[in-house]
Chains A and B, each alone.
Chain A
């Protein structure tokens, strides 16, 4: 290998390393960003995803994903809330026509967890499914 070609290859390696450092510097250190919003409606003693008819639907999230659950209480005469005991997340109870929210990070470990309305846990509970990509 000639001296010239060796110099070129050394320069190429240095340039490549510098480029990689530069790109790495631009990458975010796993920023969480805005939480994904899930809108639920409480009515007839059940949770419904907004605009659907399935009672207490399964909610699928990614491990560690930032989630904001917004709950609208449309259950006349009832007080409801939303809680995920596994991550100690819970919102304040809502009266009829009130709306509230709670932000939490999904568990890192894939599996099925439980979400619920604490005053009506018998009838208002569903699965929070953590699924890895």
Chain B
């Protein structure tokens, strides 16, 4: 289920990306929003979207020591995927590919397409910037 309440629906690459992300069972929250930087000029249409993903968590037992003495095992909830892992999976997809930029909390795709309307010689460019952010469990 994708939360599209803050999104105008613009962006073909964003749409393709969401279709792929929706199939990943390692993601339990997916939200897309228009970025405030979207704007239009005579020569271009700049579409900027932000996608927020939260990875599903699974319990795992971790060894520790109570008061630093008594050995204990406790349950820790860990995400089943990381942003690095997501980057690799998306990079392997033909419709998506590797991001133009990636860091610890964000993947960024910048796509450019020239549109020439019928009966016109001079078109305009659609520049689509998509940023994927990883949300923490509390977000």
> Are A and B genuine complex partners?
yes
User: Given the complex of chains A and B, what is the CA–CA distance between A45 and B111 in angstroms?
Assistant: 13
Judged by a CB distance under 8 angstroms, whether B35 is at the interface is yes
Knowing A45-B127, A45-B129, A77-B103, say if A123 contacts B44 (CB, 8 Å).
yes
- Main secondary structure, interface of B, reads strand
Residues A123 and B48 in contact, CB atoms below 8 Å apart: no
The CA-CA distance from A76 to B108 in the complex, in Å, is 9
Tell me the complex Cα distance, A78–B109, Å: 11
- Report A73-103 residues with CB < 8 Å from chain B CB: 76-78
Q: How far is the CB of B73 from chain A (nearest CB, A)?
A: 40
Q: Do B106 and A44 have beta carbons less than 8 Å apart?
A: no
Enumerate A15-40 residues with CB–CB distance to B below 8 Å: none
Q: Flag whether B57 is at the interface (Cβ < 8 A).
A: no
Q: How far is the CA of A43 from the CA of B131 in the complex (A)?
A: 14
Asked whether B37 lies within 8 Å of A122 as measured between CB atoms, the reply is: no
Interface flags for B23-45 (1: CB within 8 Å of A; 0: not) read 00000000000011101010110
Minimum C-beta distance from B10 to chain A (A):
16
| 24 interchain pairs, CB-CB under 8 A | A44-B35, A44-B36, A44-B37, A44-B48, A45-B46, A45-B129, A46-B37, A46-B39, A55-B39, A76-B101, A76-B103, A77-B100, A77-B101, A77-B103, A77-B106, A77-B108, A77-B131, A78-B101, A122-B43, A122-B44, A122-B125, A123-B44, A123-B46, A123-B127
